[in-house]
Amino acid sequence: MSYLDDILKSRRDTRHFTNDEVPDEVIEKALQAGHWAPSVGLTDATRYYIIKSPDVKYAVKNLFLDYNKKAEELTDNPEQKEHYKSLKLEAIEEAPIGLIIAYDRSVLNQFTIGTVGSNEAVKFSSVCAAQNIWLSLTEQGYGMGWVSILDYYQFKKILDLPENIEPLGYFCIGKPATNYDNQPMLQQLHWKQKSATPDCKEIKNINENHVLDSESKPQVKTEIKSDFSTLLQNKIDSKTKPVGALGTLETLAFQMATVFETLSPKIINPNIVVFAADHGIANHGVSAYPQDVTRQMVGNFLEGGAAINVFCNQNNIQLSIVDAGVNYDFPTNANLIHAKIAKGTQSFLHIPAMSETELQLCFEKGKSIVTAIAKTGSNCIGFGEMGIGNTSTASVLMSLLTGFSIEECVGKGTGVENEKLLQKQNLLKKAIQNYSGQAELNQQLAYFGGFEIIQMASGMLTAFENRMLILVDGFICSVAFLIASKINPDIHQNAVFCHCSAEKAHQKLLNYLNAKPILNLDLRLGEGTGCAVAFPILKSAEAFLNEMASFESAGISRK
């Protein structure tokens, strides 16, 4: 076995250090090793911060202790809890040197051909650097411990790290006081064992299960579906009421049962997902609010203060917030789904809003987000949005995809009126006239689309694939649905249009989609609020189908 193999097998999460100082040349050699690590797309995003100050170490340690206290409460086993509390899980003050290994997200704003524009890619590059530094220190007779039990938002705050710098954690460096028999702590405690060999499988074939074996399959499915529909309608009609007396509730119950493929449908783990992004067209004054309101409202969602938070809490609906392309870097530990394509689209007045690569990323991100939600067991998903300028984007897309004039598709949005509304209308008309691309869906979406709108369209298509009930909010979400329906018309089967917005063009779009909304409350807030407010009506449809007595069970005569 080589010396390198010995190093790779050695314990790497050092927790105890001697008082020996670490020579500057040791640190310099280790950091150079980190700099030699692979850098995806040569983004060169890794940043290092050295800490020797006792005051700074003390502040970091207190932050650790506060977070570690919360970690203790994650087990209900008293013996395990006491054992955990007795361990020395860090050496922040004891280690001679503290090191912060971080990555700079701002490098993604500087496009170079061959660069992979992904937050994850620059993060992985920095992890490679951390590994190289550990290898170098170990080879020189030193050790490094990784402290990740931290509130990263507070961590950045107390160290005054720039917004674009994202730390992997706090690393303790010094001479190891013990080698712990070269076993990780969790393994010594018999809490968890590392597998002896790597998990590796060879993939030899592609999955071709989606290809139908014969043309007879759709016919068989249609026959089964027809039998199911007859049974379902009989169940609805046999309830103790005149046929059709529950109106839209009966339609919703039939739809819900058909989507879930059961005569006793039940909504499980409902989730409303709010996609947020900024739009370059907002720089031309098409909104009554400045662009920064997008970022401020996402903060409001995360703090629980928005209308959608209130309505989701009221109806016990899970709320998920997605950063699809807000012009701001949120902390990595913020309670949102990081799916940022870029910091807002370009202005489509003169140039494409996004590249074809960014468009493809939107479809991938939207699919990934909804797939993850479906895996939680959720079978009902609502779509909401937030983005200053997105009614302008939606209006142009509606005009292009329906053939309606832009005048028929433009509304107040956040509240522009009179002369400002006319300016907005003329500006969007000019943008369409400037477009010289083909009348091909993907090209139109890339030129005029918004990151959140395309991610919603992709998410809706994915929800359909996962047999989920799709709750469509107002005007902008309906445009996202319009896009999805152009790709797969069958998606209509799963869609519930929750309300008719006060936005002028929404009723026209609903008519185009042949959609009948549940509510008409003059809402035009977005955020998925219409989905949340309409949700109790869906629960009523579910309840009557599953719990209401039939004529037979109640012993009541039919007419």
Q: Give tens-digit pLDDT for 164-176.
A: 788 988 999 999 8
Mean pLDDT of 246-261: 96
Q: Are residues 259 and 347 in the same domain?
A: yes
108-122, 168-182, 282-296: least confidently modelled range: 108-122
Instruction: For residues 94-114, give the mean pLDDT.
Output: 76
Q: Is the predicted pLDDT of residue 186 greater than 70, yes or no?
A: no
* Residue at a domain's end among 153, 188, 223: 188
Do residues 259 and 371 share a domain? yes
Pick from 51-55, 186-190, 491-495 the range whose average pLDDT is largest. 491-495
Question: Widest CA span of the chain, in angstroms?
Answer: 95
Indicate if the pLDDT at residue 110 is higher than 90. no
Would you say residue 12 lies in a domain?
yes
Task: Specify the higher pLDDT residue, 177 or 514.
Answer: 514
Instruction: Report the distance separating Cα 377 and Cα 145, nearest Å.
Output: 38
Please provide the average confidence, as pLDDT, over all residues in the chain.
85
Q: Considering the domain boundaries, does residue 225 fall inside one?
A: no
Which domain range does residue 136 map to?
4-188
User: What is residue 13's predicted lDDT score, i.e. its pLDDT?
Assistant: 55
Q: CA torsion 132→135→141→142, rounded to 10°? A: 60
- pLDDT of 239 above 90: yes
pLDDT band at residue 214 under the 50/70/90 scheme: very low
**Residue 238 domain-assigned (yes or no):** no
Q: Is the pLDDT of residue 124 over 50?
A: yes
Q: Which pLDDT score is estimated for 53?
A: 93
* Pairwise pLDDT comparison (78 vs 272), residue with the higher score: 272
Same-domain pairing of 181 and 276 = no
Banded pLDDT at 253 (limits 50, 70, 90): very high
| Catalytic sites, residue numbers | 527
Specify the pLDDT at position 287. Answer: 83
Judgement on whether residues 477 and 377 belong to the same structural domain of the protein: yes
Residue 283 structure tokens: 């720089």
Residue 235 lies in a domain: no
Residues 14 and 125 in one domain: yes
Residue 146, domain CATH: 3.40.109.10
* 483 and 370 in a common domain: yes
Work out how many domains the chain is built from and give that number.
2
3-35 residue pLDDT tens? 777 776 665 556 778 888 999 999 999 999 999
| pLDDT value of residue 300 | 95
Higher pLDDT, residue 324 or 64: 324
Residue 157, pLDDT score? 84
Structure confidence at residue 117 (pLDDT): 45
Give the dihedral of Cα atoms 465, 469, 471, 472; nearest 10 deg. Answer: 40
472 — pLDDT class (breaks 50, 70, 90): very high
174 and 255 part of one domain: no
Q: Is residue 91 part of a domain?
A: yes
Q: How large is the average pLDDT for residues 219-243?
A: 81
Of 63-67, 172-176, 389-393, 412-416, which one has max mean pLDDT?
Answer: 389-393
What is the tens place of the pLDDT at every residue in 346-389? 989 888 999 999 999 999 999 999 999 999 999 999 999 999 99
Task: Tell me which of 148, 165, 188 is where a domain ends.
Answer: 188
Q: Is the CB of residue 465 less than 8 Å from the CB of residue 488?
A: no
Q: Does the CA dihedral 288-293-298-302 come out positive or negative?
A: negative
371-381 residue pLDDT tens: 999 999 999 99
Q: Is 403 left (phi over 0), alpha (psi -120 to 50) or beta?
A: left
pLDDT at residue number 209? 52
When mean pLDDT is compared over 28-42, 225-239, 244-258, 400-414, the highest value belongs to: 244-258
Residue 66 pLDDT: 78
d(CA 224, CA 232): 12
pLDDT, tens digit, 9 for 90 and up, residues 459-471: 999 999 999 999 9
* More confident: 447 or 437: 447
Return the higher-pLDDT residue of 556 and 352. Answer: 352
- pLDDT at residue 398 tops 70: yes
Taking the C-alpha atoms of residue 147 and residue 145, their distance in angstroms, rounded to an integer, is 6
**Any domain includes 206:** no
